[in-house]
């Protein structure tokens, strides 16, 4: 067998470094998205807020794709896959995380939702043939223990509303994590065959449609949105809803699915501490312990 080209290893290292850089962009953008979105819930109803942010992200992505000369029309045969990706990565995920954020403090919602690497690892067995190791089983237990710690140990949450709203918020966060984990594995198994920015633009557009339908039942007063609120909408539209997704899909192309899914776990750390700084949310030992246990679980999943 002839030896591998000398440039193969440096090329692999360069690709990995680029993938990790894309993960850092994604995680930072998505991490700050949680407290910013929580702030916007004070100015707009939940689905109206998401409609403006996701719709703005779709417009920005289409403009960016057109500016780069990408073909805006999806190739023949890609529509079923495009609709499925949009439903998982945008539509269902956006609706579920919006409800979780509405019913929970941002610091709790972000930790629950970012158990997604655990679900990605679990789904990778039947869909990608990656058998779970003892380390991954332990990782799942640690991740769920972090969620349980949040559910049972937040005394300040009692003043936030009825107990059922907390249960519903946690359920929505876990469902969002599962949906995104499924989308991660499916995207790794059968990626879209179309230009990357156009793919993100169409996913954002199709995924926003059910959110817009839900927003139609909400009372919306755009005149009441403050300049800071419009700035927050612009931030969410440009970064978390468009550029961060571009970085995410690029990272998913360059890195293994488990590594990519685990890498975004920087987001809950940023989200928890940003929520404390920006929104004044409590940062007690329960949040820190839950964050530490959950991160330990997903780090173990990555090694396993």
158 pLDDT exceeds 50?
Answer: no
Residue 9 maps to a domain: no
Query: Cα(90)–Cα(68) distance, rounded to whole angstroms?
Result: 23
143 pLDDT exceeds 80?
Answer: no
pLDDT of residue 161: 59
Residue 14 maps to a domain: no
Which structural domain range is residue 225 located in?
20-303
Residue 12 maps to a domain: no
Element (H, E) at 71: none
Number of domains in the chain: 1
Residue 7 maps to a domain: no
Q: What is the mean pLDDT of residues 75-100?
A: 91
Residue 184 maps to a domain: yes
1 pLDDT exceeds 50?
Answer: no
Q: Which residues contact 131 (CB under 8 A, 6 or more apart)?
A: 125
104 pLDDT exceeds 80?
Answer: yes
pLDDT of residue 12: 66
For the segment 254-299, what is each residue's pLDDT rounded down to a tens digit? 887 767 777 777 787 788 888 888 888 777 777 778 778 877 876 7
Cβ atoms 260, 302 nearer than 8 A: no
- pTM as predicted: 0.80
Q: What is the mean pLDDT of residues 194-204?
A: 93
User: From the CB of residue 5, how many other CB atoms can be counted at a distance below 10 Å?
Assistant: 9
Query: Cα(266)–Cα(33) distance, rounded to whole angstroms?
Result: 13
Helix 93-103 × helix 196-215 angle, to 10°: 50
């Amino acid at each position: 067998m002839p030896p591998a080209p000398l440039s193969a290893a440096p090329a692999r290292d360069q690709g990995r470094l680029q993938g990790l850089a894309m993960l850092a962009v994604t995680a930072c953008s998505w991490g700050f998205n949680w407290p910013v979105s929580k702030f916007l819930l004070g100015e707009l109803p939940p689905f109206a807020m998401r409609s403006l942010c996701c719709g703005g992200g779709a417009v920005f992505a289409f403009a960016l794709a057109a500016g780069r000369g990408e073909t805006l029309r999806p190739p023949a045969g890609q529509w079923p896959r495009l609709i499925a990706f949009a439903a998982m990565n945008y539509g269902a995920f956006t609706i579920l995380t919006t409800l979780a954020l509405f019913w929970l403090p941002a610091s709790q919602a972000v930790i629950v939702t970012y158990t997604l690497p655990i679900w990605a690892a679990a789904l990778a067995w039947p869909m990608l043939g990656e058998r779970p190791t003892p380390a991954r089983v332990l990782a799942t237990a640690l991740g769920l223990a972090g969620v349980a710690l949040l559910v049972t140990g937040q005394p300040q949450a009692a003043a936030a509303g009825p107990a059922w709203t907390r249960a519903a918020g946690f359920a929505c966060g876990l469902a969002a994590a599962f949906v995104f984990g499924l989308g991660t594995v499916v995207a790794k198994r059968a990626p879209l065959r179309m230009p990357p920015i156009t793919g993100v633009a169409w996913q954002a557009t199709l995924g926003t449609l059910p959110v817009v339908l839900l927003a139609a039942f909400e009372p919306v007063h755009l005149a009441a949105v403050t300049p800071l609120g419009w700035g927050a909408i612009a931030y969410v539209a440009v970064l978390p809803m468009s550029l961060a997704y571009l970085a995410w899909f690029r990272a998913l192309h360059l890195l293994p699915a488990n590594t990519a899914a685990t890498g975004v776990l920087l987001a809950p750390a940023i989200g928890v501490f940003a929520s404390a700084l920006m929104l004044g949310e409590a940062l007690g030992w329960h949040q820190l312990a839950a964050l530490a246990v959950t991160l330990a679980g997903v780090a173990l999943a990555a090694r396993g």
